[in-house]
Structure 1
């Protein structure tokens, strides 16, 4: 729950700023803000685990009960690459067509991540929190 609120708390202001600068005709600034926000979110998710293993209890690893973490991280990196390719094909212009493409990419990413985490796709059975 905390990671979801952290991601939403950092992404919503970045989205608003990206929309504002895109309306001013600065599409390159909006794109760099979008990609920078995604990279920041991915890097900051590992910070609590680093602090736990480096300073709090260096002798024990942090157990992460997520079977889809590697899949989700790789999917995020692929979605950033697809975003750059789609923007390049669109002539580095942000318009409704690119916005629709980005929305579709996000829906596909979120759907695949949820299905993988739930064990519906892939070879990962669903595990409970205590196991």
Structure 2
């Protein structure tokens, strides 16, 4: 048991470090190759912050633990909105100015609804995995189009500042990109091994482990990035990281895992509990950031506290259901 716990801790630490290096290296290489800052912000950073979920879920599916992969994706989306945006807003209220980010939030809601439709029959088939991956590549295409058309968007200026602060040579960028990717895969294997071991020892389902421990751990890069960005006044990067990551989690993370190991007999709780919570949080995010006549679309500290309380309530419900009190 101690060995499994140490594996999870070590996996998390290396995962966070390697994800940061992977994103920094990828962003630097993209900049040297002439990719616009706005596209780097939308595509590279969004993809990079979801890299832990992608690798962990793919490995879990390959090793015969698809429920862990599904729990990781859904749980990470819940963590991203409720905990990460909640804590970030408490530290520094988030004001969304980017038109691109505002368009991404309703798009995220549509993707969440698509996932719910697929889960109605308590299964995810190979064909549905293909649909999700097609959706993922369509999202990439839309991101490229939005970046080209969105010249002068608020997100572009924030991303320019970030790239200047983390400027490195092309050679250094390539090296860190490779090292980050290799360590990302290695730490993910270690994390999955430890998580499955703990689940077996305690008799807890892979789904619950994925929804809680693994989801929280793989979302740590988003937490660090969002808090740092918000404190620096880069609000659109802070919320853009979360929204982009959530879209990638559903389309790419669940899509890849489903292609590797299609899922049958998915627990009813996934749709009735976990997906529903994700849906409610996504709708709450849309409402919080929408600019009504008398509101500026800012996620205030009060709203941040509400989100964190929602996250605590959800995990308390999970704990109570495990203890048999529900």
- 2-structure distance, mates of 1:112, 1:40: 27
Distance apart, 1:97 and its partner CA: 1.9
Matched residue, 2:257 = 48
| Mean Cα deviation higher: 2-11 or 75-84 | 2-11
* Long gaps (5+) in structure 2: 1-194, 197-209
Bigger CA radius of gyration: 2
| Cα RMSD after superposing both structures | 3.1
Contact 2:226 2:237 in 1 (8 A): yes
- The correspondence for 1:14, drawn from 219, 222, 227, is 222
Q: Distance in 2 between matches of 1:67 and 1:119?
A: 18
CA–CA distance in 2 between the matches of 1:114 and 1:67? 17
Could you tell me whether the CA contact under 8 Å between 1:27 and 1:92 is conserved in 2? Answer: no
- Report the CA distance shift for 1:28/1:116 in structure 2 as closer, same or farther (over 3 A): farther
Query: Aligned ranges for residues 77-92 of structure 1 at < 5 Å?
Result: 77-88=279-290, 91-92=296-297
Select 1:69's aligned residue among 262, 267, 270.
270
Specify which structure has the higher proportion of helix.
2
Q: Give SS of 1:68's match.
A: helix
Deviations 1:67-124 (A, max 9, x none): 311121122022111122123376233442222121122233334556678682xxxx
Alpha-carbon distance in structure 1 between the residues aligned to 2:243 and 2:287: 13
5+ unaligned residues in a row in structure 1: which ranges?
54-60, 121-131
Residue 307 of structure 2 corresponds to residue 102 of structure 1: yes
Secondary structure of 1:62's match?
coil
- Preserved CA contact (<8 Å) 2:289 2:298: yes
Greater displacement, 93-102 / 109-118:
109-118
Question: What TM-score, normalized by structure 2, do the two folds share?
Answer: 0.29
Scaled by the length of structure 1, what TM-score is found? 0.62
| Cα distance change on mapping 1:86 and 1:94 into 2, 3 Å | closer
**Counterparts in 2 of 1:109 and 1:87: CA distance versus 1, 3 Å:** farther
Structure 2 CA distance for partners of 1:84 and 1:26, relative to 1, 3 Å: farther
The question of 1:32 aligning with 2:240 is answered yes
CA offset digits 1:34-65 (Å, max 9, x no partner): 22333434442453233123xxxxxxx6343x
